[in-house]
Amino acid sequence: MDAIHFENLQELCTNCSDWKGSLFFPINYQKKEVDEIIKENEERKFDPDCYDSDEHVCEYKILETTDICPLLLPSSGHVAVLRKHHGFPPSSRFRFHSRFDGPDGKEVLVAELKRCARLSGFELSTKKKREKPLGHRLISVNLGCHYSVTYRGKPKPFTDDNVTQDGVKTQGVKDNNHIQHHSQYNKRSTKRPIDCNRKCQFGLLIFLHKDQHWYLSTQKSENSVHRHHFQQDPDQMPTRLQHLSKQELELLNQCSSVLISPTDASNLLNKMPGKCRISPSQVRYLRTKQLASHLSADASTATRLIDSLKLR
């Protein structure tokens, strides 16, 4: 009976780890009035739909969105109509909004795509950029799922007669003479696949055409499906440090100045209104980065030790 439950559970996990991608991207914006922008900046605590790191995103409000993943699949008839009547380049079925036009709109467009991906339950990462013109494409940016990049370390394979990795001993092992030997500890913690066959093939390719519009390139059918990982709940996804608002960064700085631990600081920020979710390790990394920027090269060892103890 247990074997049947195990097979059913394994089949369920396999089916859930392969899912059709969706990415609802805005297709209609309305520029906000200056008074409206000022009022929102004063009242807003944190809005995951806007990034304080880019003021251009906050200048528009979204009126309409559409799923652009079905437009990744090639369709010769649709491409021919778009090319003839709307001036689309070949191998493209979607043109991004005019607010992203030109080379200056690249960073804003990439940030907007990553934001929409997080709302759809997955992370997008920039895999490759081409700044040199190639045919009708002036600039190309290749975006892929976070699980499309393998683990950068060198994993050690398992053997059939060993439950641990090769070269890794059990800590605190005693031999026949009751002598305890120090063991080699090899820790590997990663969410990325360690095997190339387990990579997710989902990806987007955007390019800047000669007409200064940004377009979404059509891909192979397997590039529109997520594989070997689960779809995440957007409310449970961790917030990246570059997406924190100025008010939240100021709160973390105040917690650091009064020696509040990273755990308490992250819990305090997560309980505030909004959808911010950061971990103590992110707070600790932020403090270490700020400390390194303030320390001079000739700082004494005692000063470095005192400052490092304050971070704990």
When mean pLDDT is compared across 29-33, 186-190, 235-239, the lowest value belongs to 186-190
Cα–Cα dist 87/271, whole Å? 50
pLDDT at 311: 53
Cα–Cα dist 116/122, whole Å? 9
pTM (2 d.p.): 0.70
Structure tokens, 290: 């700020």
Q: How far is CA 146 from CA 16, 22, 67, 169, 200, in A?
A: 17, 15, 20, 32, 8
Task: Give the pairing type, strands 180-181 and 173-174.
Answer: antiparallel
Residue 151 has pLDDT above 60, yes or no: yes
Cα–Cα dist 212/231, whole Å? 34
Residue 297 DSSP SS3: coil
Structure tokens, 191: 């969410």
- Report the DSSP beta bridge partners of residue 215: 95, 207
- Quick one: how far is CA 87 from the chain centroid? 33
Cα–Cα dist 195/200, whole Å? 11
Q: What percent of the chain has pLDDT over 90?
A: 8
Cα–Cα dist 96/116, whole Å? 14
Residue 312 DSSP SS3: coil
Mean pLDDT value across the chain: 75
